[in-house]
Amino acid sequence: MTQTVAVLGAGKIGEALVSGLLRAGQAPADVLVTARRPERAAELHRRYGVEAVSNEQAAKAADTLILTVKPQDMGALLDELAPHVPADRLVVSGAAGVPTGWFEQRLAPGTPVVRVMTNTPVLVDEAMSVISAGAHATEEHLRRTEEIFRHVGRTVRVPESQQDAATALSGSGPAYFYLLVEAMTDAGILLGLPRTVAHDLIVQSAIGASVMLRDSGEHPVKLREAVTSPAGTTIAAIRELENHGVRAAFLAALEAARDRSRELAGGR
């Protein structure tokens, strides 16, 4: 990796990407960051030794620009950035909802744009990053993007038409698991366990179940069946989950997340 990468709007996701790039061997001199607040810029410089520059300087200096501001801040960023981005730069957007066409309309004709939906496990190198090409992005641009995001987890390519669904599933996905852990810990307390014990039991069960899902190659139904003994405890719980419509709640919830991602496309 010898190309310069700039992370514009280095908040939670942007900082995790900077950290991943450096751990993968990219020299701090080849990584630029931008921030809205001077104290945030200083913090990133202190932590990682990377140079904090203006958005305009980043646009002029970096081969790849990764935009990690919130969707609602993307309009202001593009107004500032667009006049300074040469058409041979690769622009990677990490924002939920915003289509590549929106960037293409604001950048010089022919500028390659790639859209990525990652997730917060990027902080522990276990991200799921979902990648789509815009109209002018070639195989080489997709590979460059994959190379960056592979340092912090897995990558998968999908057509851009599937990005709002991917945002609902893996972009927001970690939040659903945290909610589940929270609810199950409360249940443990209801059953008389100390909070710390309940938390540890659920977290380790979640880790064990996740590793089995990833490594066994078995369908989740098979894995669940192996836990569910005839007339046993698990089926008693599953009856209640079905009675309370948990499966239907997930279908409705992910539809709502997908719809919100679509709405963000028009919200800047």
Ligand X SMILES: NC(=O)C1=CN([C@@H]2O[C@H](COP(=O)(O)OP(=O)(O)OC[C@H]3O[C@@H](n4cnc5c(N)ncnc54)[C@H](OP(=O)(O)O)[C@@H]3O)[C@@H](O)[C@H]2O)C=CC1
Choose between 42 and 226: whose C-beta lies nearer to ligand X: 42
In terms of C-beta density within 10 A (0-12 exposed, 13-18 middle, 19 or more buried), how is residue 88 classed?
exposed
Residues 70-99 that bind ligand A1CAB (CB under 6 A): 96
- In sequence order, which ranges of the chain are alpha helices (DSSP H)? 12-23, 38-48, 55-61, 74-81, 100-106, 139-150, 163-166, 173-190, 195-215, 220-227, 233-243, 246-264
Rounded alpha-carbon distances, angstroms, from residue 119 to 43, 129, 133, 255? 23, 7, 19, 18
Using the Cα atoms of residue 96, residue 102, residue 108 and residue 111 in order, give the sign of their dihedral: positive
Angle, to 10 degrees, between the axis of helix 195-215 and the axis of helix 220-227?
Answer: 130
Q: Which of 7, 30, 44, 71 binds ligand X (CB under 6 A)?
A: 71
- Of 19, 111, 167, 185, the one binding ligand A1CAB (CB under 6 A) is 167
Q: Which of 115, 120, 93 is nearest to 161 (CA)?
A: 115
Contact status, residue 159 vs residue 106, Cβ threshold 8 Å = no
**Binds 9, which of ligand X, ligand A1CAB, none (CB < 5 to 8 A, cut-off by type)?**
ligand X
Nearer to ligand X, 152 or 198 (CB): 152
Tell me which amino acid residue 144 is.
R
70 near ligand X, judged by CB under 6 A: yes
Beta carbons of 114 and 99 less than 8 angstroms apart:
no
Residue 127 near ligand A1CAB by CB under 6 A: no
Q: Which residue is nearest to ligand X (CB)?
A: 11
Does residue 119 have a known ligand-binding role?
no
Name residues contacting ligand X, limited to 18-57 (CB under 6 A): 34-37, 40, 55
List, in sequence order, the alpha helices (H) in 191-245. 195-215, 220-227, 233-243
The CA distance from 124 to 122, in Å, is: 5
**With respect to ligand X, which residue has the nearer C-beta, 43 or 200?**
43
Candidate ranges 53-61, 79-87, 149-157, 167-175; the one touching ligand A1CAB (CB under 6 A) = 167-175
* Nearest in space to 15 (alpha carbons), one of 54, 55, 43: 43
Nearer to ligand X, 116 or 198 (CB): 116
Considering only residues 87 through 146, tell me which ones interact with ligand X, judged by CB under 6 A: 94-96, 117-120
**x/- site string to ligand X, residues 145 to 184, per CB under 6 A?**
--------------------------x-------------
Comparing CB distances to ligand A1CAB, the nearer of 32 and 130 is 130
Give residues in contact with ligand A1CAB (CB under 6 A). 96, 167, 171-172
Give residues in contact with ligand X (CB under 6 A). 8-9, 11-14, 34-37, 40, 55, 68-71, 73, 76-77, 94-96, 117-120, 171
